[in-house]
């Protein structure tokens, strides 16, 4: 289960956005994914607190990478929610008229997109275009989930990285299906904004984490949590000196809502937490300290299933979203990791981690 207090926190941080959602119709793709479940839980809370003016939701997911273990029974019985199992492109074919379209579907885990390269390209390019056509017809506000991966491996002088950096990305290789398709998705948003007057905003998330990240996501923190559950050393790929920053999910969802609802004109925004930037070996030590694990960590070679050539550093410049929309991350890394560790050890099982 997602932590109820996290959803309360997002609600309290997003009152301006919540007011503008009341009575509106929303299409969300990737609704069963990590971020999608937070949006769905927030919409559910909004409708509980404002039954006289609920948000109408059409939720789409194909479960290619999403987990169906979450208790979402309320979604199946709520009269305000229409749940559709299937390809996200179905959303463009629906007769419903939407005020907001949240395109959160995507294959974001490196291990999953290496295994599913064509599906990765399809959802970021083909589905994005079809949903932008729907937004054009309905005059919807549109939110495209891009990625910090579109920056590739930034040059040192561009770290922290702002939205104007054009990227240092390989068009060929195991990561290209994800990186380049997200870049093309952004180009489509720009075209529909400038040629068809669609309010198409873009968010570039930087390492969002929190409860709800399942073991088979195969990213660093679920991998650490799986090792903790198994009482094994934490495994750090490569030399362990590659750096990242991490944004707790409540802060991230608050930022995403601001971009979707509060922007005056469509634009692109980094959403993340620039502090602290730390290497993976240091992250493993901090994770062990907070979890009180005595197993330590070990450096291991990259597995064959994990795409090579990962960026050496990644850190966002968030001045744009902070200045224009008043966004400010509130959850520090130690607090966020404690929440995630507590949740994962209560919810991971032998079946999920094997």
The question of whether 178 is a catalytic residue gets the answer yes
Catalytic residue among 38, 100, 113, 178: 178
280-291 helix and 333-347 helix, angle to the nearest 10 degrees: 60
349, burial (CB in 10 Å: exposed 0-12, middle 13-18, buried 19+): exposed
The count of C-alpha atoms lying within 13 angstroms of the C-alpha of 232, restricted to the half-sphere facing its C-beta, is 12
Strand partners, 200: 142
Closest CA to 45 of 2, 95, 91: 2
For residue 284, CA distances in Å to 117, 228, 291 come to: 30, 11, 10
Closest CA to 101 of 109, 113, 89: 89
Tell me the two tokens of residue 39: 């949006």
Strand partners, 26: 57, 100
By the 8 A CB rule, do 225 and 115 touch? no
Query: Which residues 6+ apart lie within 8 Å of 201 measured at CB?
Result: 141, 142, 143, 144, 189, 259, 260, 263, 266, 267, 268, 269
Q: Which residues are catalytic?
A: 178
């Amino acid at each position: 289960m997602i932590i109820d207090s996290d959803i309360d926190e997002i609600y309290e941080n997003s009152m301006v956005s919540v007011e503008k959602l009341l009575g509106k119709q929303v299409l969300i793709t990737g609704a069963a994914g990590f971020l999608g479940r937070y949006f769905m839980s927030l919409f559910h809370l909004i409708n509980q607190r404002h039954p006289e003016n609920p948000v109408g939701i059409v939720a789409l997911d194909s479960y290619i990478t999403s987990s169906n273990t979450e208790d979402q029974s309320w979604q199946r019985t709520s009269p305000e929610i229409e749940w559709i199992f299937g390809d996200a492109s179905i959303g463009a074919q629906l007769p419903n008229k939407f005020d907001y379209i949240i395109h959160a579907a995507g294959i974001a885990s490196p291990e999953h997109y290496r295994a599913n390269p064509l599906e990765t390209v399809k959802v970021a390019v083909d589905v994005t275009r079809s949903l932008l056509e729907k937004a054009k017809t309905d005059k919807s506000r549109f939110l495209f989930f891009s990625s910090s991966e579109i920056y590739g491996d930034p040059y040192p002088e561009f770290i922290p990285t702002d939205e104007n950096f054009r990227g240092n990305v390989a068009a060929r290789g195991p990561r290209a299906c994800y990186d380049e398709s997200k870049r093309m998705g952004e180009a489509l948003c720009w075209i529909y904004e400038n040629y068809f007057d669609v309010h198409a905003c873009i968010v570039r998330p930087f390492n969002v984490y929190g409860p709800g990240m399942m073991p088979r996501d195969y990213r660093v923190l679920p991998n650490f949590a799986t090792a903790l559950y198994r009482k094994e050393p934490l495994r750090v790929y490569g030399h362990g000196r590659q750096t990242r920053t991490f944004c707790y999910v409540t802060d991230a969802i608050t930022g995403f809502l601001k971009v979707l609802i509060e922007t005056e004109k469509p634009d692109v925004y980094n959403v993340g937490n620039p502090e602290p930037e730390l290497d993976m070996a240091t992250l493993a030590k901090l994770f062990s300290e907070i979890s009180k694990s005595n197993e330590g960590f070990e450096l291991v070679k990259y597995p064959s299933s994990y795409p090579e050539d990962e960026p050496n550093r990644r850190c966002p410049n968030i001045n744009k979203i902070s200045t224009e929309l008043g966004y400010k991350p509130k959850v520090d890394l130690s607090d966020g990791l404690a929440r995630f560790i507590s949740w994962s050890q209560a919810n991971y099982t032998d079946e999920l981690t094997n």
